[in-house]
Structure 1
């Protein structure tokens, strides 16, 4: 009789799910040096409706010659879009912010250098208009250049991240081209100095 009772109890226990195997969602992703998980500067998250790494093929305008060793970048200001064609012909398109009216530049240039976690140094004219601007803004969540900067040949224009992702898709900058953090970090890894950059209206 005791054996039967033990068997019945064993069957009942095995049929009832145990709460010990139910785990709450893990939310400890912000334990890495005070930053969010995969998010070195917390304000950089794109809107939830945005897919940060679109890989659209064959969308780049056919106005940019492809340099086989470096690829090419075409920026279409009116579309708020940056098209990158890799040296092997794969094409990417990214949404960007462009310069405000009167601050837009058009023409052909090239990438001269790249910088991870760049400092931002406001120009003298910017500081004259806004004396509260510091001489240098160090890397961090207040840096308007974000986590990556790609410098163009004229020395002042850049393709870079932003501390204001809501500006993407608008005319908002002083002439530079802003990108979502995930996008500029991806482009940064692919683009090399010497890459041709063509900016259209």
Structure 2
């Protein structure tokens, strides 16, 4: 989609971040998302033009927003399923009720910080607090030792712990990170999007990072 002018359905009106968020949350409010609606949402994702809150353009930071089939990665959707694609910089969420969404994400800064493979959600944290790991402090000694819940928290407003220590799927209060290689190992989403994922996911939901 690079190089293409990003427009809304009438091909004249750009889709702002506010309208994109309204579309995303509106779809999430309904129960199941059928194929036609999923395709519409993919169009919205690929034609999304960030507004002044979110410059430079998110489109330039995302390599792919392809739709995928859950059967290629999971045996069942008994507890829903999450696929984090670190190359495309997106998170795919499939629900047992037919829900399907693709969310843009931040991904780890380097291959050395990236962990791939199968894991699962082990804890849901509605008001996450944050402490840097020892390795993070070695890389950046100026980091604060602790940040409580609130607007300055690097984990945003929700966090999902994975079975791998110190790895999470979480929100972010720095929207410049989304679509970039910008994390220390975690997968970050817009706060609006982590709320959708958080509300649907459960302890035991399988997660695959590729």
Answer yes or no: same fold by TM over 0.5: yes
User: Is there any run of 5+ residues in structure 1 with no aligned partner, and where?
Assistant: 1-46
- 2:146 is matched with 136
Cα distance, 1:50 vs structure 2? 6.6
Match 2:68 to one of 60, 64, 67 = 60
Q: TM-score, normalised by structure 1?
A: 0.70
* C-alpha distance in 2 between matches for 1:50 and 1:111: 30
Number of aligned residues: 154
- 1:153 is matched with 163
* C-alpha distance in 2 between matches for 1:122 and 1:186: 26
Match 1:92 to one of 101, 118, 121 = 101
- 2:17 is matched with 48
> Quick one: higher RCO (CA 8 Å, sep 6+), 1 or 2?
1
Q: TM-score, normalised by structure 2?
A: 0.67
Runs of 4+ in 1 over 3 A off after TM superposition: none
Deviates more, 1:143-152 or 1:80-89: 80-89
1:181 to 1:187, Cα distance in 2 relative to 1, 3 A: same
CA RMSD of aligned residues (A): 1.9
- Three-state SS of the structure 2 residue aligned to 1:57 is helix
- 2:86 is matched with 77
Alignment partner of 1:105 is 2:74: no
Cα distance, 1:164 vs structure 2? 1.1
Higher helix share: 2
- Three-state SS of the structure 2 residue aligned to 1:79 is coil
- Three-state SS of the structure 2 residue aligned to 1:94 is strand
Larger Rg: 1
